């Protein structure tokens, strides 16, 4: 495997994924750079959406593809926004990713007005397909537990990171350095598992 297409156009995700995959010495390219449009995400589970996106990118490019589907699950809201996290406040008015993130965060805070339980977790499912019809894709998943603050803190990260407090660290996801976040986040944990499995597979090929 010399090149891997990432089935995402989210710049924050792309940075995190590329950093964690760097030890594999595989060329990583975003699907947008290859003219691949984003796939539909019609499913109600993270794993189905991730698999759909990975197969779509692989089919369009003829390359192995990796996709992530992730979101924040708030316990007081019955697990919402969950798989709808990226478009939670999708009113068709956002002009950029940062504006969409702000709208999503504002909607989440409104939904939690008066809630005593603000516990939540991020969930991430990573899928890698070697080809579009791969019958045995590599799948890894992880959770990152914390709670939702009443107001944002920090200028880093993306998505719901400014609201997501990790009590053990006393910091939000947006207050962590990229290196810290990649070590402890849902995506960092899932990617670490996938990298280990992929390294073992690549060694078996040699």
CATH number, domain containing residue 26: 3.90.950.10
Q: Single out the catalytic residue among 69, 106, 133, 161.
A: 69
The DSSP secondary structure of the chain, one letter per residue, reads --EEEE----HHHHHHHHHHHGGG--EEEEGGGGTPPPPP---SSHHHHHHHHHHHHHHHHSS-EEEEEEEEEEGGGTT-BGGGGGGTT--S---SHHHHHHHHHHHHHHHTTT-S--EEEEEEEEEEESSTT-SS-EEEEEEEEEEE-SS---SSS-TTGGGEEETTTTEEGGGS-HHHHHHHSHHHHHHHHHHHHHHHHHHHH-
Tally of domains within the chain: 1
CA torsion sign, 197 to 203 to 204 to 206? Answer: positive
At residue 42, the pLDDT reads 87
Q: Name every residue whose Cβ is closer than 8 Å to that of residue 87 and which is 6 or more positions away in sequence.
A: 100, 104
- Percent of the chain at pLDDT > 90 equals 72
State the Cα–Cα distance between residues 127 and 92, nearest whole angstrom. 29
Beta-strand relationship, 65-74 and 27-30:
unpaired
Buried b (16+ CB within 10 A) or exposed e, 148-167: beeebebebbbbbbbbbbbe
At residue 22, the pLDDT reads 83
CA torsion sign, 84 to 85 to 89 to 91? Answer: negative
CA distances from 200 to 13, 22, 138 (A): 24, 16, 12
Range of the domain at 11: 3-205
Active site residue 69: yes
In this prediction the pTM is: 0.90
Collect the ranges in the chain with pLDDT lower than 70.
Answer: 1, 91-94, 203-206
At residue 94, the pLDDT reads 61
């Amino acid at each position: 495997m010399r090149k891997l297409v990432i089935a995402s156009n989210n710049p924050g995700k792309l940075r995190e994924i590329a950093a964690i995959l760097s030890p594999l010495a595989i060329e990583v390219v975003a699907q947008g750079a290859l003219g691949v449009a984003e796939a539909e995400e019609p499913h109600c589970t993270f794993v189905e959406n991730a698999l759909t996106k990975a197969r779509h990118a692989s089919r369009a490019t003829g390359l192995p593809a990796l996709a992530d589907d992730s979101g924040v699950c708030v316990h007081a809201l019955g697990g919402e926004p969950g798989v709808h996290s990226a478009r939670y406040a999708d009113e068709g008015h956002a002009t950029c990713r940062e504006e969409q993130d702000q709208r999503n965060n504002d909607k989440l805070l409104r939904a939690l007005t008066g809630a005593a339980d603000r516990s939540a977790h991020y969930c991430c499912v990573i899928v890698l397909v070697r080809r579009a019809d791969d019958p045995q894709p590599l799948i890894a998943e992880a959770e990152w537990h914390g709670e939702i603050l009443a107001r944002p803190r920090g200028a880093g990260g993306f998505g719901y990171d400014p609201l997501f407090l990790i009590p053990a660290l006393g910091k939000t996801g947006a207050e962590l350095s990229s290196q810290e976040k990649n070590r402890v986040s849902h995506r960092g944990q899932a990617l670490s598992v996938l990298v280990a499995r992929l390294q073992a597979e690549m060694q078996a090929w040699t």
